[in-house]
Amino acid sequence: MPTPPSGPPVPVPPTTTTRAVVPPDLDALRAALDGALVTRGETDYDTVRRSYNPLLDKREPLAVASPSTADHVKACIESAAASALPIAARSGGHSYAGYSTPDRGLVVDLAAMADIEVRDDGTAVVGAGARLIDVYTALAERGRMIPAGTCPSVGIGGLTLGGGLGVLSRKYGLTCDNLVGATVVTADSRQLGVSAEEEPDLFWGLRGGGGGNFGIVTDFTFATHPIPDELSYFRLDFAPGAVAEALGAWQEWVAGAPPELWSNLVVVGGSPPRGRVSGCFVGPRSRLEGLLDGLAATPANRLVREGDFLDVVVHFAGCGSLAACAPSRAPREAFAASSRVLAAPTDPGRLVAQVDGRDGMDLLIDSLGGAIAEVGPAETAFPHREALATVQIYQEATAEAAASASRAVAEVRDALARDGLSGGYVNYIESAMPDWGIMYYGDNVNRLRDTAKRYDPDNVFAFAQGLAKA
């Protein structure tokens, strides 16, 4: 059996457990995984350890496991628990804060657990390693869909556990609102079926409580919906200098929009900032045209089209074609990011001013409301049910300018908070978010902490913003 490369001894992180802590036996773990383990120094190590964001390439896990069964996942957790080795599951690898690549820890890459089964009763069982484009296409073959995100290479696991925003969320709810069951391997290596009837507290926490806090989910069961008979989508581009006016009109417009209409407004930083509004409508183009006429701002360009479900998926993914959306073709993107939550309309001029002169920074403002708001803030772990929108702060970066990119994001994040935009979306998790527990989880944070401590009392799934440790 191959052995880890020689070098400094593996550090043993502090632990609160009373169990004896021993160095990780990677040879035994490799055997339990039928060889599906890559350690530092091996040929494929630099490939398998990489995540979506190249800025995280400096993170060097001790090993990357590729389980294909729940028993493999159990073996990973048992090994990490016995040695107090940091462990994190990876679905698509998009984790903004890089928790999917714990430094000198164990990455459990779920990519091999990606089967998708659409049942006759309309539910779909989706492996936790499935990528979003594969979920969309597999369901579409059966005439079904779930509301989810836009990036085709995002993993279904992280997306669902943090909430799951997308272009059909106002009509059909968050991704987590369509979750009816899951299989979870907990810190003590139990394999639990979770639903509203089985382990209801854990099921509550999985719907918006963020990835990595309660165990490793091996599969999700979703209630699916028939693909709508009519779908249309649009893009409005506004002239430079006109984005504040557009944002002011958009805030009023989206607050009164029907649930069939989802839209977002992107403020593109620069001198001056530019802006565009894009969206999707469950219904015919003719009705969408009338709704767009109600936006009290005049775009420089207006594009409105009809298409089938996968046309809409490809459009918002920006791939150009379904084949080009394959996760293997997804380009990596170097960035720093954070978020805020827009609870109610804000001064558009002040918000736009935050990115005036900031090249490479976008504010992506995604509308909430509709079906999202029909669920109470405490009914699931996702708390931002009554808000108008989320605001993602996204800064392009390079390895050489990573620190300055993070500072720029922090400056805008804190300025937005001073202007009344509190909160944050846990799927845009940022390691430096102030008062992160309240920002991400609101009044649900104490119940989430209690749930995390119940299922992970020894903090096996420890990370900087892990709920069990607080």
Per-residue pLDDT tens for 373-417? 999 999 999 999 999 999 999 999 999 999 999 999 999 999 999
- Which residue do the tokens 């964001």 mark? 53
| Contact call for residues 281 and 261 (beta carbons, < 8 A) | yes
Establish if 210 belongs to a structural domain. yes
What CATH number does residue 102 fall under? 3.30.43.10
Q: How many domains does the chain have?
A: 3
Identify the band that residue 11 occupies on the pLDDT scale cut at 50, 70 and 90: very low
Cα 77 from Cα 216, distance rounded (Å): 9
Residues 45, 146, single domain; the answer is no
What CATH number does residue 236 fall under? 3.40.462.20
Mean pLDDT of 95-122: 94
- Cα angle 373, 156, 314 (rounded to 5 degrees) comes to 85
* Beta strand segments in 14-163, E: 37-39, 63-65, 87-90, 106-109, 116-118, 123-127, 144-145
Give the model confidence (pLDDT) of 299-339 as tens digits.
999 999 999 999 999 999 999 999 999 999 999 999 999 99
pTM of the predicted protein model: 0.95
Residues 279, 384, single domain; the answer is yes
Residues 122, 100, single domain; the answer is no
Identify the band that residue 196 occupies on the pLDDT scale cut at 50, 70 and 90: very high
Mean pLDDT of 92-119: 94
Residues 219, 173, single domain; the answer is yes
As a whole number of Å, the CA-based R_g of the chain is: 22
Identify the band that residue 97 occupies on the pLDDT scale cut at 50, 70 and 90: confident
Identify the band that residue 10 occupies on the pLDDT scale cut at 50, 70 and 90: very low
Instruction: From 227, 258, 292, give the residue that closes a domain.
Output: 227
Cα 200 from Cα 204, distance rounded (Å): 6
Residues 6+ apart with CB under 8 A from 431: 97, 98, 464, 465
Q: What average pLDDT does the chain have? A: 94
**Token digits of residue 64:** 């990357």
Residues 181, 258, single domain; the answer is no
Q: What is the model's pLDDT at position 222? A: 99
- Which residue do the tokens 């943090």 mark? 162
- Cα angle 20, 23, 26 (rounded to 5 degrees) comes to 130
What CATH number does residue 211 fall under? 3.30.465.10
If we measure between CA atoms, which residue out of 294, 279, 290 comes closest to residue 236? 279
Residues 162, 262, single domain; the answer is no
Establish if 16 belongs to a structural domain. no
Residues 6+ apart with CB under 8 A from 405: 335, 336, 395, 396, 397, 398
Residues 103, 121, single domain; the answer is no
Instruction: From 82, 109, 136, give the residue that closes a domain.
Output: 109
Residues 414, 340, single domain; the answer is yes
Instruction: From 68, 88, 109, give the residue that closes a domain.
Output: 109
Range with the lowest mean pLDDT among 19-23, 42-46, 207-211, 421-425? 19-23
Cα 20 from Cα 1, distance rounded (Å): 26
User: Is the confidence at residue 456, as pLDDT, over 50?
Assistant: yes
The domain in which residue 99 lies consists of: 26-109
Give the model confidence (pLDDT) of 227-282 as tens digits.
999 999 999 999 999 999 999 999 999 999 999 999 999 999 999 999 999 999 99
Residues 6+ apart with CB under 8 A from 307: 231, 232, 233, 315
Residues 281, 368, single domain; the answer is yes
